[in-house]
C-alpha cells in the first residue's frame, strides 16, 4: 500500500521524536549509572575507614574520622 506524502512525513517525524526520546532515556540512564559508580566508590572508602575502627573502643572522634572526607 502506498502512503501519501503527508502520512510518510508524519511517520518520519514520529521516528525522529521516538529516537530523541530514546536518546533522552539513554542519557538519563548513563547519568544515573555514573552517579551510582560515584556512590559505590564513596561507600567503599567509608567501609574501609570504618573497618579500621574498633567498635568497642570507638569514640565520637573516631566516628567523625570515619565519615569525614579523607585529607589528601
What pTM does this model have? 0.59
SS3 of 2, please? coil
Please give the pLDDT value at position 41: 95
Please give the pLDDT value at position 55: 74
Please give the pLDDT value at position 32: 97
Please give the pLDDT value at position 67: 74
- pLDDT < 70 regions, the chain: 1-14, 62-64, 69-72
Q: Which of 45, 65, 71, 41 is nearest to 53 (CA)?
A: 65
**Residue ranges covered by each domain of the chain:** 5-67
Amino acid at each position: 500500500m502506498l502512503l501519501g506524502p503527508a502520512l510518510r512525513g508524519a511517520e518520519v517525524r514520529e521516528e525522529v521524536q521516538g529516537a530523541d526520546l530514546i536518546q533522552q532515556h539513554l542519557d538519563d540512564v548513563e547519568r544515573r549509572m555514573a552517579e551510582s559508580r560515584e556512590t559505590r566508590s564513596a561507600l567503599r572508602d567509608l567501609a574501609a575507614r570504618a573497618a579500621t575502627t574498633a567498635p568497642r573502643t570507638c569514640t565520637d572522634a573516631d566516628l567523625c574520622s570515619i565519615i569525614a572526607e579523607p585529607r589528601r
